[in-house]
Amino acid sequence: MKTAGLFIIITIFLTAFTPASIGAGAHASAKNILDRIDDLYRGKSSHAKMSMKVVTSHYTREMIMEEWTRGKDFSLVRILSPRKDRGTATLKAGKDIWNYLPKIKRVIKIPSSMMSRSWMGSHFTNDDLVKESRMADDYNYSITFEGKRNGKDIIELTLDPKPDAAVVWGKVVIVVDKKDMLPVFARYLDEDMKLARTMYFSNVKILGKRKIPSTMKVVPADKPNEYTEFSVLNIDFDVNLDRNFFSIRNLKK
Q: Where are the chain's structural domains?
A: 24-62+134-240
**pLDDT surpasses 60 at 6:** no
Contacts of the segment 64-72: beta carbons below 8 A, 24+ positions apart: 64/233, 67/5, 67/6, 68/239, 68/241, 68/245, 68/246, 69/5, 69/42, 69/43, 69/45, 69/241, 70/44, 70/45, 70/241, 70/243, 70/245, 70/246, 71/44, 71/45, 72/3, 72/5, 72/42, 72/132
pLDDT band per the 50, 70, 90 thresholds, residue 250:
very high
3-state SS, residue 221:
coil
17-38 mean pLDDT: 61
pTM: 0.80
Assigned CATH topology for domain 24-62+134-240: outer membrane lipoprotein receptor (LolB), chain A (2.50.20)
Is-contact 221 194, C-beta < 8 A? yes
Strand partners, 216: 201, 230
pLDDT band per the 50, 70, 90 thresholds, residue 224:
very high
177-185 mean pLDDT: 92
Backbone φ and ψ for 222, nearest 5 degrees, come out as: -85, -5
Structure confidence by residue, pLDDT tens digits, 96-148 = 889 999 999 999 998 877 767 777 778 877 666 666 667 888 999 999 999 99
Is-contact 140 126, C-beta < 8 A? no
5-29 mean pLDDT: 35
Structure confidence by residue, pLDDT tens digits, 157-171 = 999 999 988 888 899
Is-contact 33 158, C-beta < 8 A? no
pLDDT at 132: 60
The enclosing H or E element of 70 equals strand 60-70
pLDDT at 131: 61
